[in-house]
Amino acid sequence: MLAVIVSGLAIGAVYAAAALAYNVMFSTSKVLSVTTGHLFMLGSVFGAWFIGTLGWPIPLGLLGAIAVGAAFGWLTEIVAVRRVLARSDEHLWLLSTLALATMGQQAVGLWWGTEPRPFPRLIEQDFASGLADQKYWLPIGLVLVLALGLELFYRGTLWGKLFQATSEDAFAARARGIATDRVRSFSYLLAGALGGLAGFAAGQLTFAFFALGLQLTLFGFIALAVGGLGSNLGALVGGTALGLLSSVASYFFGGEFQHTIAVGLLMVVLLVKPEGLFGAKRVRPV
Amino acid sequence: MTSLSLPRAVSAALFSVLLGGTSFAQEPIKIGWLSSLTGPLSSAAIAENQGVQFAVDEINKAGGINGRKIELLTRDTAGEPTKAVNLAQQLVFSDKVHVVIGPVNSGESLATVPILAKAGIPNIVIGALEGLIDEKKFPYAFRAINTNTQWIAGANNYALDVLKKKKVAVIGDTSGYGTASAKTATELLEKAGIKPVYSVLIDPNKTDVSDEMNKAKTAGADVVMPWTAATGLMARILNTRGNMGWDVPVVGHPAVMALPIKALLNKPEYWENTFAAGYQSTTYVDGKLPERTQKLVDALKPALGGKIDFTFWWVALGYDCVKIIEHVVKTTGGLEPAKFKATLEATKDFPGIYASYTWTPQDHNGFPDRNIVVNSANSFKDGSYDKAPH
Amino acid sequence: MSTNARNLALAAAGALALLTLPYWAKDLYWLHLATLIGAYWILIAGLNLVTGYAGQLSIGHVGLLAVGAYGFAILAGTHGLDPFLSLLLCGALGGIAGLLLGLPSLRLPGFYFAMATMAFALIVTELSLALGGLTGGGTGLSVPGFPSPMNSPWGYYWLVLAVAAGVTWLTWNVARFMWGRALIAIRDSEVAAASAGIGLFRLKLTVFVFSGITAGIGGGLFASLQSYITPDTFVFEIGLFFFVCIIIGGRGTILGPFIGTVILTALPEIVAPLAKLGAFFYGLMLLIVVLLIPEGVGRLVEVLIRRFRGEPHRSHEVKPDLPRLASVLARKEDAA
């Protein structure tokens, strides 16, 4: 049973990281990007390519994976968000990010192949270490560090304060002379880097697999919606809850019903508490 | 001038048409080849395509069959049944092929076999699911590959009779093929009087299978039998077994022997004590392959850069499919469906590379049981394997 | 008046062309494609009201297609019910599934709704595998055809055409009258629509259930055309495809999505390299349309036709008259 909990926590940490990435992008643009999960997929695929295929040293491979994630995040902002936000239609961003996500996934599938490929070992450790294995603890540790880091960043740095100001009220922020466009670009870059890093850390758990993206987009979103949109604490709690639930449920009922159960959780939470566990109540849609 | 030359041009054209008519025997043999060269299930199809392409080139270089060249029409289904149905219609009605090979995956074949049967086009089936062959409903469909049951029975026999194991854990995946195979495996075991101590279906993308493996161990399993074609899941099963330090044999689907697995394993020794149903034709006996297989390996190796890094039986199967068609054309002079059916139904022990085929009017499954052997997964060398220890 | 007559003539010519398609189609393969487009269109026409008119982005309609397809295979195949009755029941089944999906999810904001529909598609696939006794599990089910004369490719085409025409007529009526206006109002601004007295949720739910019914019927016809269905048939990409057809064709019209469906089904068949790119192609088309012509290709064609006909181009843009402004300013300065 301990094994079920540890593996649930590990995969839950990946969902939580995806929810964090959603939050970073949402705070400055009010956009939920379909490409969120694909940032993680790129982190793991490019990490595996840099280290496993090209033979780069691990730190360089890590930097490379972060850079690729950041680049895709930035690309999302330039191609799929910036132009679309200028228009009044509120749903266009969903379409444009969906289009970009589909293209990204298919391109990686054509280039990298559709079979999962191995991700290299990052730290010297015996494979028989059971539950102390790095594939569990790397994502769990990393997501805690990321959440803490984001919190410090928001509270302690000038850029973080700009983020918050933009997030609270973009018009007011612009009126006070904040270049909200640049803040938004930076937030996508940051989310991309975060996704690349987390995808890299979870690579040994997920393998380098092209279809990982869409799955994480969905499950990260469920974690986010359960925890509450905009709340980083909620992202952690939602991700953990979802990871544990999936793993315990498939322990008892087998793997045949895992989507049904995950979506069941989402529906229950949304019916009881539509803003999520830690989300702020949405005031009004006008 | 022009008014005079026009009728002449017409008559010349007519003449050439007539000439073309007389050289009817020179009309190419059109083979449709439904192959999932891209998409999530492409690895087997790519290898099979090597064999098909090689056989066609070889025959055409030698002047064709009875002087008729082969025209190969390859269509990429991307592994989607809907596309496979569209392309089957295209091959039959637009391209007017004489015979169709494929599709590669059972899920696609289930949809195309009835369509080809309705159109009365001979079909060489290379999907392993049982329901694809029905001598009454699909009279022109003949199977070259083994059936799924043959694979499973081969693996079961090895686990029960050779390894003398009685406590079996059956693992399937949640895909169509995985659920169907796990079900067949359980049924066959029960027929042999064995009830699996543990059976489970796992999502092929599930990142961690240690709880399933722990449960299997707790249930007292002394052999693990995975039935999944998903490389990632197979590798996770082997990795978990190794990481747990659980010394249990794994006997299952041939995917466990595919080379991509090796790269996914934590340690090379995790591939030990792992066996799967394979083929006599790609099994080394005293370090040697059967003569026919070796010939094809030698012929193909230079084109593949001097090494073969995929399971060779796919290539052999693709090669044989074309050779079976050649056999029919040589025997009857054409591919007329009724003659195609009669010829193959009378074919006994046709010596292919992948297997020796026998079809009868009662049984359109050409692959004989005796051509199945069990291999050791880690003995991969140039696409072939050693026999599992007895 | 004359444009009306011309439109009527065009529509009649189009209907005649569709009706006689079996006589001029190159071969049975093209007839099969046309029938497939028809079956897809029955679903897309309903989805168009949800997505193109009411602006609810459902990317998981493939789940409803699967419900209809499995429903038909089980009712007409396993239980041997009359195919026409089965088809009606499939519509009811699709409608119920649409109701079950729409009830909780249509209250949610856009992205939440899209994700809920995607999850629904995954759940249907999951259940079709898990409930092996009913659905044949991974092995799938064989699907019966319709009785004579609908058992020939021609007959079946006409059957699908008739149903498609009926569904199109229904959606056209919905779109033309007050309902359609209300739906567009919802799409463009939910708040404004609500303040104009439109019962948002009920209207959205009604349309969504209607799209479930058409998806169920489309699914039944699709299954019978395929003659065999497995869970692998209903991949997520098909759901994406339906959705892209509407967006590319143009939201808020009926002709646009129809053209989108025809083009997107036929193009990969004609141009083989596009098939290899698969979903990448759909993604690219979607991105181009969203970024460059968000009104869709149908709208673009409309504008081009207008320009071609030389109708006066009415500009709503208010351009500043700079010289006049300069002169006014100069005068003021003079006065000062």
Please calculate the CA angle A275-A240-A137 and round it to the nearest 5 degrees.
150
DSSP string, B174-196: SSHHHHHHHHHHHHHHHHTT---
Q: What is the separation of C-alpha C329 from the centre of its chain, rounded to a whole number of angstroms?
A: 55
Strands B198-202 and B372-376: unpaired
Indicate the pairing of strand B123-125 with strand B168-173: unpaired
Instruction: Give all strands of the β-sheet with B168-173 in edge-to-edge order.
Output: B198-202, B168-173, B223-227, B250-252, B274-279, B372-376
- How is C104-165 classified by DSSP, letter by letter? HHTTS-HHHHHHHHHHHHHHHHHHHHH-HHHH-GGG-EE---PPTTTTSHHHHHHHHHHHHH
**Residue % of chain C over a pLDDT of 70:** 94
Give the burial class of B193: count Cβ atoms within 10 A of its Cβ; 0-12 exposed, 13-18 middle, 19 or more buried. Answer: exposed
β-pair type (B70-76, B274-279) = unpaired
Taking only the tens place, the pLDDT of each residue in C273-301 is 777 777 888 889 889 888 888 777 777 77
Judged by a CB distance cut-off of 8 A, whether residue A129 touches chain C is no
Q: What is the mean pLDDT of residues A171-200?
A: 91
B239-278 as b/e, with b when 16 or more CB fall inside 10 Å?
Answer: bbbbbbeeebbbbbbbbbbbebbbebbbeeebbebbbbbb
User: C327 and chain B: CB distance < 8 Å anywhere?
Assistant: no
**Is A266's CB within 8 Å of C119's CB?**
yes
Work out the minimum CA distance from B194 to partner chain A, whole angstroms. Answer: 22
Ranges in chain B, pLDDT < 70: 1-25, 40
CB contact under 8 A, C122 and A79: no
Token pair for residue B110?
């289930």
**Residue A34 · residue A98 · CB < 8 Å:** yes
What is the token pair recorded at A253? 């009922």
ipTM of the complex: 0.87
Mean pLDDT of A183-189: 93
Structure tokens at B253: 């689907």
CA B312/CA B354 separation, integer angstroms? 9
CB of C132 within 8 Å of a chain A CB? The answer is no
Q: Is the bond leading into C149 cis (omega within 30 degrees of zero)? A: yes
Lowest mean pLDDT among A56-65, A173-182, A272-281, C232-241: A272-281
* Interface with B, mutate which of A9, A250, A257 (most B CBs under 10 A): A250
pLDDT in tens, C125-177: 889 988 888 988 878 898 999 998 888 889 999 999 999 999 999 998 888 87
Can you tell me whether residue A159 is helix, strand or coil?
A: helix
* Residues in a beta bridge with B70: B29
Task: Find where tokens 């299997």 sit.
Answer: B216
Asked if B256 contacts B241 with a C-beta cutoff of 8 angstroms, the reply is no
pLDDT-based confidence at residue C336 (cuts at 50, 70, 90): low
Question: End-to-end CA distance of chain C, in Å?
Answer: 58
All CATH 3.40.50.2300 domain ranges of chain B, comma separated, are 26-147+296-370, 149-280+374-386
Is residue B75 classed as helix, strand or coil in its secondary structure? strand
Instruction: Give residues with Cβ within 8 angstroms of C202, minimum separation 6.
Output: none
Q: Give the pLDDT confidence score for residue C310 in this predicted structure.
A: 62
Q: Which residues of A touch C112 (CB under 8 A)?
A: 225, 270
CB contact set of A126 (below 8 Å; sequence gap of 6+): none
Whole-structure pTM value = 0.85
Nearest C-alpha of chain A: how many angstroms from B40?
A: 5
Rounded to 5°, the CA angle A187-A191-A197 comes to 145
Please give the DSSP secondary-structure letter assigned to residue B363: B
- Residues in Cβ contact with B42 at an 8 Å cutoff, skipping those fewer than 6 apart: A114, B36, B79
Do the bridges between strand C228-229 and strand C141-142 make them parallel or antiparallel, or are there none, so unpaired? antiparallel
Q: Are strands B29-35 and B99-101 parallel, antiparallel or unpaired?
A: parallel
Q: Name which of A227, A229, A235 is nearest A198 in CA terms.
A: A235
Of C59, C104, C130, the CB nearest to A257: C130
Closest CB from B76, B83, B110 relative to C140? B110
Residue with tokens 């019962």: C199
- Considering the segment(s) C25-335 as one domain, its CATH architecture is Orthogonal Bundle (1.10)
Yes or no, beta carbons of B232 and A251 under 8 Å apart: no
The string over A31-70, giving b where at least 16 C-beta atoms fall within 10 Å of a residue's C-beta and e elsewhere, is bbbbbbbbbbbbbbbbbbbbbbeeebeeeebbbbbbebbb
Neighbours of A110 (CB within 10 A): 15
pLDDT tens track for C186-197? 787 777 777 777
Nearest Cα to Cα of residue B203 among B212, B214, B192: B212
Which of B208, C116, B174, B239 has the alpha carbon at shortest distance from A247? B208
CA distances to A20, A275, A276, A280 from A235, in Å: 6, 13, 10, 13
Query: How many residues are there in chain B?
Result: 390
Cβ–Cβ of B82/C29 closer than 8 Å?
no
Q: Position A93: which residue type?
A: W
pLDDT in tens, A226-236: 999 889 999 99
Distance from CA of A70 to the nearest CA of B (A): 25
Q: Do C122 and A218 touch (CB under 8 A)?
A: yes
The closest of B388, B140, B145 to B276, measured between CA atoms, is: B388
The hierarchical CATH code for the domain B26-147+296-370 is 3.40.50.2300
Highest mean pLDDT among A82-96, A250-264, B179-193: B179-193
> Rounded distance, CA A260 to CA A246, Å?
10
Q: How many alpha carbons fall within 13 Å on the CB side of residue B313?
A: 26
Q: What was the pLDDT predicted at C330?
A: 81
Within 8 A of B235 by CB-CB distance, chain A residues are 116, 118, 207
What are the structural domain ranges in chain C?
Answer: 25-335
pLDDT of residue B231: 85
Distance from CA of B163 to the nearest CA of A (A): 26
- Report d(CA B174, CA B5) in Å as an integer: 71
Q: Which two tokens stand for residue A12?
A: 């839950």
Asked if the model's pLDDT at residue A90 lies above 90, the reply is: no
What is the pLDDT at residue C183? 79
Q: Is the pLDDT at C199 greater than 90, yes or no? A: no
Q: What pLDDT does residue B16 have?
A: 44
Question: Regarding predicted confidence, which is higher, B12 or A282?
Answer: A282
- Using the Cβ of B349 and the Cβ atoms of chain A, whether some distance falls under 8 Å is answered with no
The CA-CA-CA angle for residues C194, C195, C198, to 5°, reads: 40
Contact predicate C257/C300, CB 8 Å? no
Task: Indicate left, alpha or beta for A92 from its phi (over 0: left) and psi (-120 to 50: alpha).
Answer: alpha
Which residue of B205, B233, B261 to mutate against A (max A Cβ within 10 Å)?
B205
CA neighbor of B104 nearest in space, from B145, B138, B55: B145
CB atoms within 10 A of CB B148: 22
Name residues 14-73 of chain A within 8 A of C (Cβ).
32
Residue A198 in this model has a pLDDT that exceeds 60: yes
Nearest-Å Rg of the Cα atoms of chain B is 23
CA dist., res. C283 & res. A103, Å (int): 5
Which of B43, B232, B243 is closest, CB to CB, to A207?
B232
pLDDT recorded at residue B8: 46
The model's pLDDT over C56-102, given as tens digits with 9 standing for 90+, comes to: 889 889 999 999 999 999 999 999 999 999 999 999 999 999 999 99
For residue C141, the cross-strand partners are: C229
- β-sheet bridge partners, residue C204: none
Domain over B149-280+374-386 is classified CATH 3.40.50.10090 = no
Whether pLDDT at A51 is above 60: yes
A172: its two tokens: 């007011």
The rounded distance, in Å, linking the Cα atoms of C270 and B56 is: 25
Residues in A touching C240 (Cβ below 8 Å): 98, 102
Q: What are phi and psi of C185, to 5 degrees?
A: -60, -40
From the list B199, B40, B201, the residue with the least C-alpha distance to B107 is B40
Closest CA of chain B from A129, distance in Å: 7
Distance CA B349, CA B370 (A): 12
Measured in whole angstroms, the distance separating CA C167 from the mean position of its chain's CA atoms is 11
CB contact under 8 A, A127 and B264: no
Instruction: Output the six-digit token pair for B60.
Output: 């055409």
